[in-house]
A = this chain, B = another copy of it.
């Protein structure tokens, strides 16, 4: 593996130490968050006990009684229970799939060498003997399951801390925006650091345990380790898609009846779908995103390890440093561009808001054009980082650049998670009947959260592109392909069909959100029509039925898109062979990246154009408002359309491209041996 900067022992110590520091830091942040007490006695007593002498703002004094705190605690509980119940239901179904897929991995990879238990000649060094394919099959299966479990734990912990922090953010918002921000951001940091450290420690332990068997058979070891990435990403797929459908079905359903038909504010406690909406933020935007970024992280580590194990080149540490730097730099540019196109502090979103003057149609046209335009610079950034890092260290350079981009994952997750936490905090304030000033503060946090979420998505997509390319490179090596020539029909048909897959996938997920939302609309309408006193606030809505509708719909609807992603590499590899599969991977990569970026940014821009009009912070914004004006109504329509784009189909697409690549990599020896049936006839 060439000369290292540090001796092996130092590396062996440094990695777990980093992991422990990350976990310790996360726990410390958690202790800080938990200092906001939710029990009777209220925020002020608790704060003064901690030596905190802040006073609540005047007009809140009247409501700063036990009942408000108790109400917040009650709502928090309902959200937390709904989220836990959904995740457990989802994990149950996905668990069955995971076991089945684990068996598939073992059987397919074991069959490569006819389930032989004898050692074989190494693929990359014919002078040595390597471990049997059957062993790699077994260890791949184990690491697949480990990756899946770690992903589940990551998502679940993130959801737990988010539902722990949301009501605390609400209570702190009584003291000011700054206080609320700190709680929300610290909770995000708990998730970010815990998840990054967790992923690192599990991977470290797994590699060291596998090494006891593999010894210096690095190729076999890291082949087996790729299962970890596949496990992480498959769970992430279902988490993102299921959670994404859940959150947007509830959100769109709640808005369509509540805001549009009944003219009651967002998150009004009279709306039966309001708890489901808040649960959705936690299971989709928190747990789903946590699993997703953990997947990226696991895959980019695996990609770097595998590529390193099969490449034979001298490592030049300065060049690798430059690869990391170029990845970081590209991530930074993507972040800036995303902010420019989705924050309402800049002209693009203001132009979109302005186009609401002439109605929803121009708003949608301008929003779509904005999303398309926002693709340009990120793609150039990705292209340049690919070119530079490849020039330095071929595919290994690209894997390292991906790691560079993901090196900010802990912070990225923190800023990403803080948005939904603030969103939830605002919802809780509304439901607990707190002053509108509280809501304005959480809305300000939430608007910033839309931009940070878009930045987080930009990072996720950018890193997904690099990771997928590195995995693709590893796949090609492992499947013993020398060139992927676009001019051969086998590759070209793969390329064009691959470029179509993101559209197919998006159609499925958007339609799913639409259908699930329609079901939700019917239920919410039914409750408004049949429960007497609901609109007057004298009767309580049946929140649980709405939670159940979202749960059932998302579990059911996540299967077809999940199957599309998981089965495509298998079907293409088995029937068409590795060349066509290479084309599919390249096609879905170059096409999916564009749709993912444009969908995320279009959705983010619409959301913030609406918030821009609502906040009315400038003369221009006031000329479009207030809430309820025609331009505002047009902006709400754009926001609703953007929901499935930015929170369901867009962010799931980066999992699509990564997952297909890592799955192809894991099954590469099988496809190379037994694949391409159609062309063998």
B-binding residues in A (CB < 8 A): 252, 256, 260, 355, 358-362, 364-366, 368-373, 375-376, 379-380, 382-384, 386-387, 390-391, 465, 469, 472-473, 476, 483-487, 489-493, 495-500, 503-504, 506-508, 510-511, 513-514, 517-518, 521, 582-583, 586-587, 589-591, 593-594, 598, 637, 640-641, 644
Q: Can you name 10 extra interface pairs (CB under 8 A) apart from A372-B503, A372-B510, A386-B489?
A: A252-B361, A252-B362, A365-B641, A369-B506, A379-B496, A380-B497, A382-B496, A492-B586, A495-B590, A587-B590
- Pair A496/B383 contact, Cβ less than 8 Å: yes
- Pair A500/B386 contact, Cβ less than 8 Å: no
Contacts A511-B369, A521-B358 hold; do A386 and B252 have CB atoms under 8 A apart? no
- Pair B485/A390 contact, Cβ less than 8 Å: no
Chain B residue, CB-CB nearest to A493 = B383
- Pair B369/A510 contact, Cβ less than 8 Å: yes
- Pair A361/B641 contact, Cβ less than 8 Å: yes
Partner of A373, one of B364, B368, B490, B507: B507
- Pair B590/A375 contact, Cβ less than 8 Å: no
- Pair A590/B496 contact, Cβ less than 8 Å: yes
Expressed in whole angstroms, the Cα–Cα distance for A368 and B514 within the complex equals 11
Expressed in whole angstroms, the Cα–Cα distance for A518 and B386 within the complex equals 40
Expressed in whole angstroms, the Cα–Cα distance for A136 and B379 within the complex equals 37
Partner of A504, one of B375, B486, B583: B375
Expressed in whole angstroms, the Cα–Cα distance for A190 and B133 within the complex equals 68
- Pair B591/A511 contact, Cβ less than 8 Å: no
Partner of A499, one of B493, B517, B518, B590: B590
- Pair A386/B510 contact, Cβ less than 8 Å: no
Partner of A487, one of B360, B484, B594, B637: B484
Minimum CB–CB distance from A20 to chain B (whole Å) comes to: 38
- Pair B366/A511 contact, Cβ less than 8 Å: yes
Partner of A517, one of B362, B472, B510, B598: B362
Expressed in whole angstroms, the Cα–Cα distance for A508 and B376 within the complex equals 12
Expressed in whole angstroms, the Cα–Cα distance for A465 and B384 within the complex equals 28
- Pair A486/B582 contact, Cβ less than 8 Å: yes
- Pair B365/A514 contact, Cβ less than 8 Å: yes
Contacts A369-B506, A486-B586, A503-B375 hold; do A386 and B594 have CB atoms under 8 A apart? no
